[in-house]
Chains A and B, each alone.
Chain A
Amino acid sequence: GAVVSQHPSWVICKSGTSVKIECRSLDFQATTMFWYRQFPKQSLMLMATSNEGSKATYEQGVEKDKFLINHASLTLSTLTVTSAHPEDSSFYICSAVSGPRKNTEAFFGQGTRLTVV
Chain B
Amino acid sequence: DAKTTQPNSMESNEEEPVHLPCNHSTISGTDYIHWYRQLPSQGPEYVIHGLTSNVNNRMASLAIAEDRKSSTLILHRATLRDAAVYYCILRGNTDKLIFGTGTRLQVFP
Q: How far apart are the CA atoms of A95 and B31 in the complex, in Å?
A: 20
Q: How many A-B residue pairs have CB under 8 A?
A: 63
Contacts of A97 in B (CB 8 A): 95
Contacts of A4 in B (CB 8 A): 43
Q: How far is the CB of B36 from chain A (nearest CB, A)?
A: 8
**Contact B44–A102 (Cβ < 8 Å):** no
Instruction: Annotate A37-51 by CB proximity to B: 1 below 8 A, 0 otherwise.
Output: 000000111100100
Specify which of B31, B42, B45, B98 is in contact with A102 (CB 8 Å cutoff): B31
Secondary structure at the B interface, as helix, strand, loop or mixed, is loop
Contacts of B41 in A (CB 8 A): 91, 111, 113
Beyond A6-B43, A109-B43, whether A102 also contacts B100 by CB under 8 A is no
**Contact B44–A93 (Cβ < 8 Å):** yes
Q: How far is the CB of A2 from chain B (nearest CB, A)?
A: 9
Task: Identify which of B31, B41, B97 gathers the most chain A CB atoms within 10 Å of its CB.
Answer: B97
Beyond A102-B91, A103-B32, A105-B34, whether A46 also contacts B96 by CB under 8 A is yes
Q: How far is the CB of A54 from chain B (nearest CB, A)?
A: 12
Q: How far is the CB of A38 from chain B (nearest CB, A)?
A: 9
> CB-nearest residue of chain B relative to A109?
B43
Beyond A43-B101, A111-B41, whether A105 also contacts B49 by CB under 8 A is yes
**Contact B45–A43 (Cβ < 8 Å):** no
Contacts of B45 in A (CB 8 A): 108
Contacts of B98 in A (CB 8 A): 46
Please report A residues at the B interface, Cβ cutoff 8 Å: 1, 4, 6, 32, 34, 36, 43-46, 49, 91, 93-95, 97, 101-103, 105-111, 113
